[in-house]
Amino acid sequence: MTSFTNKYVLNLLRNLPRLSISNLRNNDGAVKKNKRGRAQHGGDKHGHGNKGSKARQNFMRPGYETGNTPFYMKFPREQYYKDHHVKRQYPPLSLTTLQKMIDLNRIDISKPIDLSVLCNTGLYNINPEDKHFGVNLIDEGADNFKAKINVEVQWASEPTIAAIERNGGVITTSFFDVNSLFILINPKKFFQRGEAIPRRMIPPDDAILYYSSAANRGYLADPEKISWERFVLAQKYGYKLPKIEDDPDYDMLVSRKDQRQIFYGLEPGWVVNLKDKVILKPIDPQLKEFYRS
């Protein structure tokens, strides 16, 4: 029996293939494969369901409520928010903050104040890429505002205008296009490019009435109507309107930009050379006619 078994085993070993790496394998269940493939390679949905935006990215689009009717579609459209993404924005600046800038000598009130002066203080800034079109001077701190200034802003309310003119100051609301705003915010960067100062564009159709109104102190309004509106506002708020003609700072108070002008003292078409510290002015008659207001 034993000899027969030994012969059987030896005969079996002769017929079996020789032991090599090609015919070696682990026992069943010894190695567990982490299946993270796609489709037939062992992958699954991994909690993201079948197709759709949730399966193709790690977030759903804003407003999507997994098949339900979204909240913003259950109600009629509100016209107040129509074209809200293209509306012009005016970041506010309070009279309290403006008085603080003056008290800290960030602003020289012996010269006219515009958007460029406000941005150079480091306490106020705008970003035209976010639809910012200038400064909105609000009436917060109107009772404590005591400075006599000549300020140019892009938006102002009636109490703000009264607070400025009560102290003998002058306020003007003016419009700047996007290109002019970038130049005003950072004049040094523009001057280093060596380009001529462009003309300021006129306001669009939906803003032309505001900047042509004397009640808003628009820069396109008639000066005689502005003088009358100054008197009317003083009567309304009960203060005595100071006479600008008798003021020692008369020249500073009456200085205004041209309708096409961006900087005080610099006309369109001029080139400012910071390296040589010179100003180049056009002499060609066609250029003069082009940059003329």
Domain boundaries, the chain: 92-264
Inter-residue contact 106 to 59 (CB < 8 Å): no
Residue 272 three-state SS: strand
Check residue 25 and give left, alpha or beta (phi > 0: left; psi -120 to 50: alpha). beta
Could you report the per-residue pLDDT of 269-281, keeping only the tens digit for each? Answer: 999 999 999 999 9
d(CA 144, CA 163): 9
d(CA 277, CA 265): 15
Residue 182 three-state SS: helix
Residue with structure tokens 């002015």?
Answer: 281
Could you report the per-residue pLDDT of 153-169, keeping only the tens digit for each? Answer: 999 999 999 999 999 99
Bridge partner list, 132: 89
Could you report the per-residue pLDDT of 69-105, keeping only the tens digit for each? Answer: 988 888 877 777 777 778 899 999 999 999 999 999 9
Bridge partner list, 89: 132
Nearest CA among 241, 281, 276, 250 for reference residue 265: 281
Tokens describing residue 159: 């109490």
Bridge partner list, 280: 271
